Amino acid sequence: MEIIGIIDYGSGNLHSVTKAFETVANQIKKEIKVMRISDSKHVSKCDRVILPGVGTFNDCKIGIEEVDNLTFELEKKIIKEANPYLGICVGMQLLADKGFEGRETTGFGWISGHVEKIPIKKNIKIPHMGWNTVDFHKEHEILKNIQKDKREMIVYFVHSYQFELTSDTNLLGSCDYGSRITALIEKDNIIGCQFHPEKSQKAGLEFINNFINWYP
């Protein structure tokens, strides 16, 4: 049986994320158990790890640090053992070297870059909230069968800060919101999405399906 662990550290739309993964898992012809993980010792049991995040970069990082050994266990599972990881919203942003929401805060540093506020421009409301089109920058298994032959997908966003990548090598998808917004990133066994797949209806469920069936 494959175990998908959704990290519960006091932040994130856990109910919706859990239900979305359970819905997809129930349609796949293999044994899958979706679990909420609030104790770091259970991270070792996971075959795949999901890190949601709602709120500020700083608050989410503090929430993770307040769970004994969680940072250590996540790094062991994702970096050393190379299990698939999906970071959603702030769960993606935490992959950066640092974030500047509230105050400067160190991230995981697994994908080089920093998190800063979306530029304020005329006719651009902050937060970036609602549906937007993500344009794909390259092919990847996580995008298989989404929007068929189109190199884009329409998904749901809610955020005020954005991930500024050091290198576009890790850029998988972006959207336009007055400027280019990093929407989807990847590196080896790591995927991060700024949008919320659990709120993105058919495209979001297909994205989750692809992640569950992805073997990097």
Q: What is the pLDDT of residues 128-162, one digit of tens each?
A: 999 999 999 999 999 988 855 567 789 999 999 99
Q: Residue 30 above 90 pLDDT? A: no
Q: Residue 187 above 70 pLDDT? A: yes
Confidence of residue 123 (pLDDT cuts 50, 70, 90): confident
Is 159 one of the catalytic residues?
no
Is 198 one of the catalytic residues?
yes
**Which residue of the set 114, 128, 159, 196 is catalytic?**
196
pLDDT, average across residues 40-52: 96
pLDDT, average across residues 193-209: 95
Count of CB atoms within 10 A of residue 56's CB?
Answer: 19
**Which residue of the set 73, 101, 186, 198 is catalytic?**
198
pLDDT, average across residues 187-198: 97
Which homologous superfamily is 2-212 in? Class I glutamine amidotransferase (GATase) domain (3.40.50.880)
Is 89 one of the catalytic residues?
yes
pTM: 0.96
Confidence of residue 84 (pLDDT cuts 50, 70, 90): very high
Confidence of residue 79 (pLDDT cuts 50, 70, 90): very high
pLDDT, average across residues 108-113: 98
pLDDT, average across residues 192-216: 95
Q: Residue 8 above 80 pLDDT? A: yes
pLDDT, average across residues 14-27: 94
Share of the chain above pLDDT 70, in %: 98
The predicted structure's pLDDT at residue 122: 82
> Which sign, positive or negative, has the C-alpha torsion 141, 142, 147, 151?
negative
Q: What angle do CA 154, 17, 54 make, to 5 degrees?
A: 85
**Which residue of the set 46, 89, 175, 193 is catalytic?**
89
